[in-house]
Chains A and B, each alone.
Chain A
Amino acid sequence: MLSAVIGVMPELISLQKHEVEWLLEYLERVPELVTRDVIHRDETHSHALYIESGCIGEFVEYQGKQRLLAIHRSGHVIQLKAEVHVQAHKSIFRCLTSCKVWRMALPAIRELDAHQQDVAERFLQGLLWNELLFLRTCSYEAQFEDRDAWKAWIKRNAGALPGLTQDEIGDYLNRSAATLSRWTHADDHG
């Protein structure tokens, strides 16, 4: 599993084989099967989730409403809490399908020796970079406007849709339910 996690790390992080082996030893890995549930956040420990299968929606409370911010799919790593990561918005992670995830406790960096600290920090760096670029993609998505872009989005996220309400989808795409219905109708009729 960890080799898959390392696989999603940016190339420039360049973790070595023996470092990967150390991480494998060090990270506490627990496979979990979760179904249509809110992922438990542990506020006291830094940890991340690797999604082996399924889709997880990231929601935030904004202007009095819980809004879908992003959809994380298999292969993504989600940071639930990291020492270096100060979040202005507390995200709520909800399974949109049945998911198999791996919960990883991230090392308490200050307790490690210098080399291990370096490895752990590069690992965290990889998570942060991934998240930044992923959010940039979400930001592009937040601006798409036309029916073709919407169709592509629906196709990409087909597996996640049963876990979302029409309101949440409309909200995510910044379109009214009526517009989405019109697009669907037009689609049904070629």
Chain B
Amino acid sequence: MTMGNPYVFQLCQVLLQGDKELEAAMHHFADAFEGPFIAQPGETLLRYGDKRPLTFCIQSGWGFAQSMLPSGTLRNFELIIPNSILANEDMLFYGRPMQAALVAKTEIVYYTLDHPKYLASLEDVHAWNQLFNRICSGLIPIRKQRILDLKVMSKPELLARLLQRFPDVFTYCTQEEIASYLNVSRSTLSRMLRKN
């Protein structure tokens, strides 16, 4: 099933930065996505330790990427938002199991790319390498921006941004989950909410 192709292509096109030479490779990449699939609230898209070499395109819905704390518990680390691309990068880059988990909090509509299947279908590996380098290059400034935001924004600012990106977060998540994402205690979150 390749119903997602135009959507995935449109989502990824920004990474091409107008480079027409890589457009054919990007079309082939977008064509390889399967879906749409639907995840129900609470469903795990990728679990911690997962070895499936998948990349996801999230068309709609919200969730959390969870990282493992030294204590062995999972903490909400990053918000999954519509129109985003998520990958099991531990597996894709280093062949290691996933070091995080992706969990849906609302219904999520998504597409998936199975990398070994995709790589086997490639006729032009060179174009793919170029495209993949372009995609990774595009992700680096995004990741740097995220680090800077985390360093610079205060907790109330992070809460305000969470509410802006996931307006119904309090409908779908418990206060404990939200406190986990903001890395504050529940009492601090309650204080912040009272001030709001």
Contacts and interface: CB of A to CB of B under 8 A. Distances in A.
Contacts of A19: none
Interface string B138-178: 11110111111011100000000000000000000000000
Nearest to B184: A145
A152 B92 CA distance: 29
Nearest to B92: A12
Nearest to A129: B93
Contacts of A128: 133, 136-137, 140
B77 A12 contact: no
A125 B145 contact: no
A143 B126 CA distance: 38
B151 A172 contact: yes
**Interface of chain A, helix or strand or loop or mixed?**
helix
A125 B17 contact: no
Most A CB atoms within 10 A — which of B17, B130, B136? B136
B64 to A, nearest CB: 13
Contact of B94 (A11, A121, A144): A11
A95 B124 CA distance: 41
B136 A132 contact: yes
B140 A133 contact: no
Contact of A122 (B90, B129, B138): B129
Contact of A142 (B94, B129, B136, B147): B147
Given A84-B130, A87-B140, A139-B150, 11 more contacts: A12-B93, A60-B144, A62-B152, A67-B148, A67-B152, A69-B144, A128-B133, A131-B140, A139-B143, A139-B147, A145-B183
17 contacts: A12-B95, A60-B144, A63-B152, A69-B144, A69-B148, A84-B130, A86-B137, A87-B141, A88-B141, A88-B145, A89-B145, A128-B137, A132-B89, A138-B147, A140-B67, A143-B77, A174-B152
